[in-house]
Amino acid sequence: MLNLVLFGPPGAGKGTQSEKLIEKYQLVHISTGDIFRAHIKNQTELGQQVSQIIAEGNLVPDSVTIAMLEEEIKKNESAKGFIFDGFPRTVAQAEALDNFLASIGQEISGVVALDVTEEELTERIAKRQQISGRADDAADKLQKRIEEYFSKTIHVLPYYEKQGKLDKVNGIGEIETIFKSLTTIIDQYK
């Protein structure tokens, strides 16, 4: 199995690149943000529990997020592999993912971090606000999400670096160029 984590701040292009990667490698895409949004839309119990937290740009508690992620993996028993997008966002989540994958005889193959400067991020995000319609893309909420990234999520990188599983890719440039850089690295994980 090829189990990838695509890592990067809000606006780094994780969603766009994930779409292309799942097609190339036939992976199941697990975007915790997308799953939460679907729950909110369908007004499930989980959706009601997290909608306020997400609207404010805060992180959903680890216990809730981890339980949901494990469910998603279990639902896709016959998958050739997974691409985790927007997860893990904390070291506790990274540890939980490692433990869960180990329990089913699997592991993370590699983690690719999209490197984007804060300046570029701000520019992209301003554009996205005009088109996305996501409540958590409003300027103050987005600022909060970026803060969450730099205060909590960034600490996940050394966790994987210690395991020798971290690679970085320049996330600025043409979509196709970035995709090529990603696939060159990912092909070495196989």
Please list every residue from 150 through 189 that binds ligand AMP, using CB under 6 A: none
DSSP codes, 32-56: HHHHHHHHHHTT-HHHHHHHHHHHT
- Residue among 6, 22, 30, 59 that touches ligand AMP (CB under 6 A): 59
Would you call 145 a catalytic residue per the annotation? Answer: yes
2 binding ligand AMP? (CB under 6 A): no
165, amino acid identity: K
- Does 65 bind ligand AMP (CB under 6 A)? Our answer is yes
Looking at the chain, list the stretches that DSSP marks H as alpha helix, in order from N- to C-terminal side.
14-25, 32-41, 45-55, 62-75, 91-103, 118-132, 139-151, 156-162, 175-187
Residue 137, interface with ligand AMP (CB under 6 A)?
no
The answer to the question of residue 17 lying near ligand AMP (CB under 6 A) is no
- Residue 149 and residue 89: Cα distance in Å, rounded? 8
In angstroms, the CA 137 to CA 9 distance is 13
Check residue 57 for interaction with ligand AMP (CB under 6 A).
yes
Residue of 20, 37, 124, 128 marked catalytic: 128
Judged by CB under 6 A, the stretch of 39-47, 53-61, 100-108, 180-188 that binds ligand AMP is 53-61
Does position 87 bind ligand AMP by CB under 6 A?
Answer: yes
Distance CA 50, CA 96 (A): 20
Residue 35: HSE in the Cβ half-sphere, 13 Å Cα cutoff: 21
Catalytic residue positions?
A: 14, 89, 128, 134, 145
Residues that bind ligand AMP (CB under 6 A): 10, 32-33, 36, 53-54, 57-60, 65, 86-87, 89, 93, 136, 145
